[in-house]
Chain A
Amino acid sequence: EAGVAQSPRYKIIEKRQSVAFWCNPISGHATLYWYQQILGQGPKLLIQFQNNGVVDDSQLPKDRFSAERLKGVDSTLKIQPAKLEDSAVYLCASSSSRGETQYFGPGTRLLVL
């Protein structure tokens, strides 16, 4: 069974530029999560989707971050415009519809200069 796929693995941009990350969850997993992991900290949930609907986006900075999951499968997370403090690893995870366990992708490491 293929795991959670993410791309790109690394991205370097300048502040005020925009960037997008892509995630493809484990086949059949209805729930998809995006986390932000700042260096030296644990991951923090940004947004949770159930199929293509948003369940929780309470910690998503909506003035600059957006996410979508149009067909209930893969998802994109966008930052526009980026700030220095957005430098972090962005992790995508998925779980089955009644699943307690989340499975994580390798992450995208973002550096904002």
Chain B
Amino acid sequence: AQSVTQLDSQVPVFEEAPVELRCNYSSSVSVYLFWYVQYPNQGLQLLLKYLSGSTLVKGINGFEAEFNKSQTSFHLRKPSVHISDTAEYFCAVSDRGAQKLVFGQGTRLTINP
């Protein structure tokens, strides 16, 4: 069975500063990895995904993530954040057969002016 650990429940940063949201997973099989964003009172929106190939994945809104198989990590980064990035971010994993997503607990990103 897979599991996901998001290492920070809350991350406050100043506007235009860089940010990294950390995600570690455990799985005995090959996986797909995802980052979703959830704005207040909304559903989940896909930011980016790693399926195969290049370990550096670029997504929407200037976000990127790097898959590190040896460290079983998939950290999300953005070089310069904006107030509009304030949201909850979820890391998720699925095995390549079942399509079942297992989510982390979420990281609340707060951007201060």
Residues in chain A within 8 A of chain B (CB atoms): 4, 6, 31, 33, 40-45, 48, 56, 91, 93, 95, 99-107, 109
Total interface residues in chain B, CB < 8 Å: 25
Q: Closest chain B residue to A42 by CB distance?
A: B103
Task: Determine if A56 and B98 form an interchain contact, defined as CB atoms under 8 angstroms apart.
Answer: yes
How far does the alpha carbon of A56 sit from the alpha carbon of B99 in the complex, in Å?
Answer: 10
Which of A31, A41, A99, A104 is in CB contact (< 8 Å) with B43? A104
Interface residues of B (CB under 8 A from A): 4, 32, 34, 36, 41-46, 49, 51, 90, 92, 94, 96, 98-106
**What residues on B are CB-neighbors of A41 within 8 Å?**
105-106
Residues of A within 8 A of B46 (CB): 101, 103
Report how far A76 CA is from B41 CA in the complex, Å: 21
A44 touches which of B43, B99, B103, B106 (Cβ 8 Å): B103
A70 CA to B36 CA, complexed, in Å: 29
Nearest neighbor of A4 in chain B, beta-carbon distance: B43
Q: How far is the CA of A18 from the CA of B46 in the complex (A)?
A: 32
A45 and B103 alpha carbons, distance in the complex (Å): 9
Distance of B11 from chain A, by nearest CB (Å):
15
Query: Given the known A-B contacts A91-B44, A104-B43, are A48 and B104 also in contact in the complex, defined by CB atoms under 8 Å?
Result: no
Most A Cβ at <10 Å: residue of B4, B103, B105: B103
A residues less than 8 Å from B98 (CB atoms): 56
